[in-house]
Amino acid sequence: MRPSGYRNVRRDGPGRRGESVLEPDPQAPIVVWAFERYATGSLSLSSLTEALAEKGLRNRLGNPPGISAVHRMLRNPVYAGVVRRKGVEREGIHQPLVPRELFDRVQSVLDEHSSGGERSWKNDHYLKGTLVCTECGSRLYYAVAKGRFGYFRCVGRNTGRTRCSEGRYVPAAELERAVEALYEGVQVPAALRRRLERVLRVEVAERERHRAEVAKFLSRRLRQLATEREKLLRAYYADAINVAILKREQARINAEVADAESQLATDGEKLAQAKQIIDLALDLAKDCAVSYRKARPEVRKRWNQAFFRTIRVRDGAIADFTYEEPFASLLGSHTGSMVDPRGFEPLTSWLPAMRSTS
């Protein structure tokens, strides 16, 4: 069965038997995004499935994939350039969509989420991915007991991967209230808020301009590579080059295409994330506690991911936490103290950096 993100292309030539080759299709960038996003460990399989449906991923029947299909996709080594037949793996001649390192990282996250019989990827919570065990550094997974009682527990302790002694099943409601309390007392002066908006909006506008230039260059290069690929195949079918040269040149072209397409998708995703985090920062700056309490669970999840790098838990309670940028520079400390507005310009360093193209 053709994997999502690929299409079968049959190559025919005079006197040659046509062979079917996998080539990336227009959905390939969405598949790459799925691997990159799930590798962070902050997204459940069900949430990823919903996000992929929103991004437009569809199966052969034109329907959004289900959780089991997304799970199979993330487990399929073909995306890392490996073909598996009768239990034997070998390097394929097709273009891989993700690096082997990223594929292996996704496998580790899948193993972690499905460990201990909890199948925790079936349950989602807006604090998942943010809570960390103070003792061993493992993330806290979320599960629901008997369909009613939601709780968090250390993954390292549950799987036996670490020698963690943190064995408590912490009621989710307790940690929810504790995180709400972290937003209390964080007040951003109006003058600093206006400065925050002005500086960050200018920065994003500049990055939009830069991304447009990079996209123009990469699109031109992709057209050049497509022409090279067609010339290479014509030379092969005319017996001007042998199969060894064909495969070597195809690998080079495929690698360049993958890099260009990945950069286009990644730059677009980073810019979208930058805009989203700016909106979150400005909303939270108005009144952190009130905004957080009124937000829907999915919005709280985005805010927690944007606001906190980690929240560490010990003995069922929050022990300490660290802010993400720009909040680390803006708030200065865990007590909610403010930094001097005159030193605000360096905050733009938090924005996701886009790779330059020479």
pLDDT digit string (tens) for 86-107? 656 678 888 899 998 889 888 8
Which segment of 112-121, 145-154, 204-213, 341-350 scores lowest on mean pLDDT? 341-350
Say how far apart CA 222 and CA 101 lie, in whole Å: 25
Q: What is the pLDDT of residue 174?
A: 93
Band of the pLDDT at 131, cuts 50, 70, 90? Answer: very high
On the question of pLDDT at 352 being above 60, the answer is no
On the question of pLDDT at 4 being above 70, the answer is yes
Q: What is the pLDDT of residue 330?
A: 64
Instruction: Kindly give the interhelix angle for 243-286 and 28-38, rounded to the nearest 10 degrees.
Output: 60
Cβ count near 20 (within 10 Å): 10
For CATH 3.90.1750.20, list the domain ranges present in the chain.
Answer: 1-113
Say how far apart CA 289 and CA 285 lie, in whole Å: 10
Q: What is the pLDDT of residue 17?
A: 55
- Segment 5-34 shows an average pLDDT of 78
Say how far apart CA 169 and CA 167 lie, in whole Å: 7
Q: What is the pLDDT of residue 178?
A: 92
On the question of pLDDT at 71 being above 80, the answer is yes
- At 220, list the tokens: 């031109």
- At 78, list the tokens: 């073909």
On the question of pLDDT at 55 being above 90, the answer is no
Q: What is the pLDDT of residue 146?
A: 67
Instruction: Give 319's contacts (C-beta < 8 A, 6+ positions apart).
Output: 134, 312, 313
Q: What is the pLDDT of residue 281?
A: 63
Q: What is the pLDDT of residue 179?
A: 92
3-state secondary structure of 132: strand
Which segment of 9-13, 73-77, 197-201, 225-229 scores lowest on mean pLDDT? 9-13
- At 312, list the tokens: 């560490």
On the question of pLDDT at 11 being above 70, the answer is no
Q: In 184-242, which ranges are continuous DSSP H helix?
A: 190-237
Band of the pLDDT at 135, cuts 50, 70, 90? Answer: very high
- For 354, phi then psi, to 5°, come to -95, 140
pTM above the 0.85 mark? no
Q: What is the pLDDT of residues 156-195, one digit of tens each?
A: 888 777 888 888 899 999 999 999 988 886 666 677 777 7
User: Looking at beta carbons, which pairs linking 234-238 to residues 24 or more positions away fall under 8 Å?
Assistant: 236/13, 237/13, 237/14, 237/16
Q: Amino acid identity of 196? A: L
Which of 81, 134, 128, 136 lies closest to 109 in space, CA to CA?
128
Q: What is the pLDDT of residue 18?
A: 57
Question: How would you label 27-49 residue by residue, b for 16+ Cβ within 10 Å and e otherwise?
Answer: bbbbbbbbbbbbbebbbbbebbb
Q: Amino acid identity of 317? A: A
CATH number of the domain located at residue range(s) 1-113 in this protein: 3.90.1750.20
